[in-house]
């Protein structure tokens, strides 16, 4: 217990009083660092956001915003954390804090520390590139913070509606997952689009040039259970073999909600997010392998669009704050029928690599799910990685139907992956989520497509088959008839999008 500690705002602090299920937020607030707040306790509001120093993959450090309400504080043992108090003070504001104040981006102030941390993470992003007119934008923000009509939207410099990057290169989607009920967001956007580059003497910018802290083996024992971060995969599976009721946790974006809102406790929590064997992301000659511990943000950054179907999935998967911790392995590990990743991975023909003390086995993803939140994974097994066969299908799309465009749970999710040669569909894989007790392949629809010309007639016939796939139910998100209708509409939309693209390609 005496050996566990976190560096917070430059000061090393022992994890005194922490238990196996204490969140980073509760621990920080217990140490009188009360800038981070609890709003929702499930990672949807961002009031609890803090910065964590993580590896940038090139030997340096990347400041990453995370939901401290979901992260077990023991998972940050040996790591570096910065809260809003550590960024600046009332006498010496951080540039982000100063711009928020000038733009009138804070009213009640409850959410502001979270916005500050998420905005700071984007402020320090190395590849944030201003546009030619970015330097002039600072003068467009009213000095008194007044929300003037002519400041929106063109003067705020969103270069295109999809990416929503400001003239200073600020990606507005980096603030997704941070909610504010007071300002209406425009002053916050004004502040985000007015920040410049870090100053030459900025210590947080300089920190990026040094390596991030290495993961350290951790053992924390308390009355509510044990928290262990093993050093290797072999140690992790040995622990699982000896403790079949243990809960393996990667990003904790699902487990954290269970702990906070449902009072779940486990006799043993095993942290697997920083196991080196689960952190690989490699392109081989015939497959892409993504480690189960790779965060979605890291996968998105490293893949850089090379898997178009995943490139469509990532921005629609929860928020940036969640993606900075969540993993594909965790999304599959929960076995949820409404997880966003399974439909896309099913369409890609993915396989799951399971590891135990007996070795490894590989399972086709379409054989992995066995029932509602049930899979073939045994209690003594971990998901080590996800393998996607190469070459990839040439015509793909990911459609998510939800009440909100971003940061919402899907009512229906569909992954499409087709190969079309000389106008004929030669192969088809379609993954579905939200229409049955498990994610599933739309095999009848796939059969209705293969060998047919990719025409509107074929698409309409396939749409009629697709709306009968699965066993959709009615709940508070959507009715069963709506879910079926969205399946057929998704097929028609997919045809409309791809037929235009294919014509351009030809």
Residues 108 and 206 in one domain: yes
Residues 51 and 148 in one domain: yes
Residues 325 and 410 in one domain: no
Do 296 and 310 contact (CB within 8 A), yes or no?
Answer: no
Domain span holding position 312: 276-389
How far apart CA 377 and CA 74 sit, in angstroms, is 26
Q: What separation, in Å, do the N-terminal and C-terminal C-alpha atoms of the chain show?
A: 65
Q: What is the pLDDT of residue 419?
A: 97
Domain closes at, from 389, 405, 425: 389
Q: What is the pLDDT of residue 16?
A: 85
User: The tokens 């099913």 sit on which residue?
Assistant: 346
Q: What is the pLDDT of residue 242?
A: 97
Question: pTM of the predicted model, to two decimals?
Answer: 0.92
233 located within any domain:
no
Q: What is the pLDDT of residue 163?
A: 64
Do 44 and 407 contact (CB within 8 A), yes or no?
Answer: yes
Domain closes at, from 355, 389, 423: 389
Q: What is the pLDDT of residue 503?
A: 64
Residues 314 and 382 in one domain: yes
Residues 60 and 40 in one domain: yes
Residues 385 and 412 in one domain: no
256 located within any domain:
no
Which CATH number belongs to the domain containing residue 76 in this structure?
Answer: 3.10.20.30
68: tokens are: 């401290």
Name, in order, each residue with C-beta under 8 angstroms of 92's C-beta and a sequence gap of 6 or more: none
Q: What is the pLDDT of residue 147?
A: 34
Domain closes at, from 339, 373, 389: 389
Residues 157 and 198 in one domain: yes
Q: Is the dihedral of CA 333, 339, 343, 345 positive or negative?
A: negative
Which CATH number belongs to the domain containing residue 341 in this structure?
Answer: 3.30.465.10
Beta-bridge mates of residue 271: 249
Q: What is the pLDDT of residue 136?
A: 37
Q: What is the pLDDT of residue 184?
A: 85
23 located within any domain:
yes
Residues 151 and 44 in one domain: yes
Q: Is 318 left (phi over 0), alpha (psi -120 to 50) or beta?
A: left
Residues 167 and 77 in one domain: yes
Residues 293 and 151 in one domain: no
Do 260 and 25 contact (CB within 8 A), yes or no?
Answer: no
How far apart CA 484 and CA 322 sit, in angstroms, is 29
Distance of CA 390 to the CA centre of its chain: 24
Domain total in the chain: 3
Secondary structure of residue 370 in the 3-state scheme: strand
Residues 98 and 177 in one domain: yes
How far apart CA 158 and CA 160 sit, in angstroms, is 5
Residues 299 and 440 in one domain: no
- Average pLDDT by consecutive 10-residue portion of the chain (506 residues)? 84 93 97 96 96 96 98 97 96 97 95 98 94 47 35 30 81 95 92 97 98 96 96 98 96 97 97 96 97 98 97 96 97 95 98 98 98 97 98 97 89 97 97 97 98 97 97 93 96 92 58
The one-character DSSP state at 215 is: P
């Amino acid at each position: 217990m005496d050996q566990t500690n976190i560096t917070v705002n430059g000061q090393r602090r022992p994890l005194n009083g922490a238990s196996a299920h204490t969140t980073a937020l509760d621990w920080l607030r217990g140490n009188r660092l009360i800038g981070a707040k609890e709003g929702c306790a499930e990672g949807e509001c961002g009031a609890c956001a803090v910065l964590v120093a993580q590896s940038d993959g090139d030997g340096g450090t990347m400041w990453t915003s995370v939901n401290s309400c979901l992260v077990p504080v023991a998972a940050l043992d040996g790591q570096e954390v910065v809260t809003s108090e550590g960024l600046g003070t009332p006498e010496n504001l951080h540039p982000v804090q100063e711009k928020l104040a000038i733009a009138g981006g804070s009213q009640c102030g409850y959410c502001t520390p979270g916005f500050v941390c998420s905005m700071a993470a984007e402020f320090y992003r190395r590849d944030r590139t201003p546009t030619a007119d970015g330097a002039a934008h600072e003068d467009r923000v009213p000095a008194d913070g007044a929300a003037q009509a002519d400041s929106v939207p063109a003067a705020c410099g969103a270069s295109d509606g999809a990416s929503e990057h400001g003239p200073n290169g600020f990606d507005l989607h980096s603030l997704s997952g941070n909610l504010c009920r007071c300002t209406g967001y425009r002053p916050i956007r004004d502040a985000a689009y007015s920040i410049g580059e870090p100053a030459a003497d900025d210590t947080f910018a300089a920190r990026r040039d040094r390596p991030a802290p290495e993961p350290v083996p951790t053992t924390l024992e308390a009355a509510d259970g044990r928290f262990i971060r093993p050093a290797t995969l072999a140690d992790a599976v040995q622990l699982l073999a000896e403790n079949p009721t243990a809960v393996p946790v990667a990003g904790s974006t699902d487990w954290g909600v269970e702990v906070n809102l449902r009072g779940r406790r486990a006799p043993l929590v095993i942290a697997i997010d920083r196991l080196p064997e689960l952190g690989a992301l490699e392109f081989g000659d015939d497959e892409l392998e993504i480690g189960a511990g790779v965060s979605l943000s890291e996968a998105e950054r490293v893949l850089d669009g090379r898997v178009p179907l995943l490139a469509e999935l990532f921005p629609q998967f929860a928020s940036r704050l969640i993606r900075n911790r969540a993993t594909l392995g965790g999304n599959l590990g929960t076995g949820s029928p409404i997880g966003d990743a399974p439909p896309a991975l099913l369409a890609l023909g993915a396989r799951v690599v399971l590891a135990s003390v007996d070795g490894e086995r590989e399972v086709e993803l379409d054989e992995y799910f066995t029932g509602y939140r049930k899979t073939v994974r045994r209690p003594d097994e971990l998901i080590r990685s996800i393998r996607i066969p190469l070459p990839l299908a040439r015509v793909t799309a990911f459609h998510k139907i939800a009440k909100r465009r971003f940061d919402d749970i899907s009512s229906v999710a569909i992954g499409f992956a087709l190969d079309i040669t000389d106008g004929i569909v030669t192969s088809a894989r379609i993954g579905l989520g939200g229409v049955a007790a498990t994610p599933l392949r739309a095999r009848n629809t796939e059969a209705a497509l293969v060998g047919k010309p990719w025409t509107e007639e074929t698409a309409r016939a396939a749409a009629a088959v697709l709306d009968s796939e699965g066993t959709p139910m009615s709940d508070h998100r959507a009715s069963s008839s709506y879910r079926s209708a969205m399946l057929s509409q998704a097929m028609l939309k997919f045809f409309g999008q791809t037929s235009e693209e294919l014509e351009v390609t030809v």
